Amino acid sequence: MRYIEQQTVVKRMNGRLIANAIFKYIFLAATLLALLALVILLFRIVSQGAGNLSIDFLTNFASRFPDQAGIKAALIGSLWLMMVVAPTSIILGVGSAIYLEEYAKQNRITSFIRMNISNLAGVPSVVFGLLGLTIFVRAMALGNSILAAGFTMSLLILPVIIVASQEAIRAVPGELRDASYGMGATKWQTIVNIILPAAIPGILTGSILALSRAIGETAPLIVIGVPVIIQFLPAGVMDTFTALPMQIYDWSSRPQPEFQAVAAAGIIVLMAVLLFMNSIAVIIRNKFDKRY
């Protein structure tokens, strides 16, 4: 008896190879299509907006003259916003993740909470804007300040940070925990010395990607009533401000075609900020990856 039928193998070989090739090209086409869209988008934006990019563009306030319009108020406003969003969302998010993974009992209530957090990640950002308007802007009387907008944005990205941190914490091998307990460490010591160091790349990558989302969101800011016509910089978190996506949105809705080019330049600045944040995420991941 022969286990491998030469004849059958040869007969089937062709079909298998064709299927192999077909799928290879299908996936290649999928990748290329996505890339093509990205390249066209980037090309359009850069070719439209590059002419307006200059130091003046970064250091001027918005203007009714397209050639004098600058993005200073929006850029600084977005950085202020991030200064509120980053600590608030990371502290709350990582804290919740640690609690849910390490302290909470694994019962129905916990899994119900988990499921809800995952669902929250899919809620449209306008809804978070309305929540922010009701709670922070009106009930807590923070007005359309950086603090109110920052808290709203934090709420928006919290689910993403919690889920990413939970995944990172869950990926830490159980033997490490056991070894730590075996050495007589308390839960807190284990979390600080073993779990967090091992989970930090995942947590930070998730957090920075979430922050990137926050910096590009427009809808919640519109709902909160963040102004776009503003000729001063905020001096503290209680001041009002404007942000990059608001400014870009405003410019792109102007009648004059010159403003479309200014909007494109604004998009380039926003993309540069995003790219900078994402590259931090990549660096952190590469630095701390490949452990355990």
Partner 1 sequence: MRNWKFAMASTILGSALILGACGGTDTGTETEETGSGTAGEEATVEGSVIGDGSSTVAPILEGLVEEYAGAQPDVQVTVGVSGTGGGFEKFVAGETDFSNASRPIEEEEIAALEEAGIEYTEFLLAYDGLSVVVNQENDFVDNLTVDQLKQLWVEDGTTKMWSDIDPEWPEEEIVFYAPGTASGTYDYFNEVILEEEDIVSSATLSEDDNTLVQGIQGDPNAIGFFGYAYYIANQDTLKLVPIDGIEPNDETIESGEYAPLSRPLFVYAKNSSISENDAMYDFMQYTIENSGEMAQAVGYVALNEEDYESGLADLEALKE
Q: Which residues bind partner 1 (CB under 8 A)?
A: 59, 61-64, 72, 75-76, 79-80, 82-83, 86-87, 138, 143-144, 193, 196-197, 200, 204, 222, 225-233, 240, 250, 252-257, 260, 280, 284, 287-288, 291
Toward partner 1, which CB reaches closer, 49 or 117?
Answer: 49
The sign of the dihedral angle between the CA atoms of 114, 119, 122, 125 is negative
Residue number, 151 or 251, with CB nearest to partner 1: 251
Give the shortest CB-37-to-partner 1 separation in angstroms: 19
Q: How far is the CB of 47 from partner 1 (least distance, A)?
A: 18
Length of the chain: 292
Dist. CA 27–CA 68, nearest whole Å: 46
Q: How far apart are CA 132 and CA 223, in angstroms?
A: 8
Measured from the CB atom, is 117 or 268 closer to partner 1? 268
> CA torsion angle for 43, 49, 55, 58 (degrees, to 10)?
-110
Q: Which is nearer to partner 1, 122 or 182 (CB)?
A: 182
Cα 181–183–184 angle (5° rounding)? 65
Round to whole Å and give the CA distance between 67 and 13: 65
Q: How far is the CB of 122 from partner 1 (least distance, A)?
A: 25
Report the nearest approach of partner 1 to the CB of residue 12 (Å): 51
Q: Residue 118: what residue type?
A: S
Q: How far is the CB of 236 from partner 1 (least distance, A)?
A: 11
Rank residues 117 and 207 by Cβ distance to partner 1 and give the closer one: 207
**99/232 with CB nearer partner 1:** 232
Task: Give min distance, CB of 286 to partner 1, in A.
Answer: 12
Q: Residue ranges of the alpha helices (H) in 50-107?
A: 55-59, 72-98
Shortest distance (Å) from residue 34 CB to partner 1: 25
Beta bridge partners of residue 240, listed in sequence order? 145
Contact 239, 145 (CB under 8 A): yes
Instruction: Tell the smallest beta-carbon distance from residue 248 to partner 1 (Å).
Output: 13
CB 220 within 8 A of CB 125: yes
- CA separation for the pair 88, 85 (Å, rounded): 5
Of 116 and 134, which CB lies nearer to partner 1 in the complex structure?
134
Query: What are φ and ψ of residue 240, in 5° steps?
Result: -85, 170
Of 160 and 198, CB closest to partner 1? 198
- Per DSSP, the three-state class of 145 is strand
Cβ atoms of 69 and 63 within 8 Å: the answer is yes
Give just the sign of the alpha carbon dihedral 247, 219, 97, 136: positive
